Structures are given as C-alpha cells and as structure tokens.
Amino acid sequence: MKQEIFRQYLEKKGQRLTRERSAVLEKAFSYKGHFDPETLYVDMRKRGMKASRASVYRTLNLMYECGLVEKVNKTEQGTIYEHSVGRKHHDHMVCIQCGKIIEFYSEKLEKLQDKICREMRFKGKNHTLEIRGYCRHCQTGQNIAEGDSSYEYRHNSTDLTSRR
C-alpha cells in the first residue's frame, strides 16, 4: 500500500520510484517509532543497502509531501520523523532537556480544535501539536526553581496548567 501511494505521488510529479527511493521507504517503515534521517542512512549502509545521504534526505522530504511520514520534531541535530500510514492520529510532548518524545491523544483537544475551526469558518485538514517542556525524569529542582518549566504535566495529559 505505502509503495503504491508513493509510486502514484512520484508519477504525478514526473518522477520514478527508483531502487534507492524504494529502499529508503522500506527502511523508514521498518522503524516502530521515531527516527532521524542520519540514523536511517547509517542503518542502510550497515545492511549493505545502497542510497546516498542526499537521497535519504530528499526521499524523506518526498515521503513527507505525500503524507507517508510526518515531521515530529526539529532539533539542533535535525528533523525527527515517524511514519503515518496505518497509525492513529496523536500529538507529542517533547522534553527540551533529553529529547524524549511522548505521544498522547486527547479527545477533548480534538473536539476543541474542531469547535474552533467551525467558529472561525475554517476547514481544517490536519494539524500538529507539539508541547515542549521537561519530562518527568528531567524535572529537577533546578529546572523548576529557575522557572524554565512553563507547564506542569499532570496525571491526565489534557490537564496542562500554566505555572506563570
């Protein structure tokens, strides 16, 4: 299914699904969670798969354009991806200290976003929600004392309270 989606997308752009692109597609979908282009490239090289670093980055961008992968997070080290075909929608909390990514889903948030779109007469197609802060492990007395943590994560992931 994913290969056919990609093939059709590329054909519309006047491009082909080459062996390199196919290998990048398969390797990207072999990851269970989040991945970065550099790790994907290195893993491909270790397994003897042929694809240049530039091809990996370009192919991931094409996969993003056609909706096969999502950009989860941009860090100083680069973009983190995840595949989106066959996965239910979810949002992310990203620890700005250790880089941990926590996935969550909130029906309340989804309904609120739909309500706002209706009120603004806006037809939403998709969205990305990323909450940046400190994971439970990185919430040290130093972080909170310095006021770095703008939000406190409570037991229910939809209960965010401003600490300002």
Both 42 and 69 in one domain: the answer is yes
Q: Could you read off the pLDDT of 60-119 as tens digits, one per residue?
A: 999 999 988 888 766 666 788 888 776 677 788 888 888 788 878 888 988 999 999 999
**Taking the C-alpha atoms of 18, 22, 28 and 31 in order, what is their torsion angle to the nearest 10 degrees?**
-160
Give the end of a domain, one of 83, 101, 130: 83
Residue 45 and residue 117 share a domain = no
Interatomic CA distance for residues 117 and 101, integer angstroms: 27
pTM over 0.85: no
Pair 99, 43 in one domain: no
Provide the domain count of the chain.
2
Tell me which residue range forms the domain holding 54. 2-83
Same domain (yes/no): 79, 127: no
Residues 49 and 100 in one domain: no
Instruction: Give me the CATH number covering residue 144.
Output: 3.30.1490.190
Of the listed ranges 15-24, 59-68, 132-141, the least confidently predicted one is 132-141
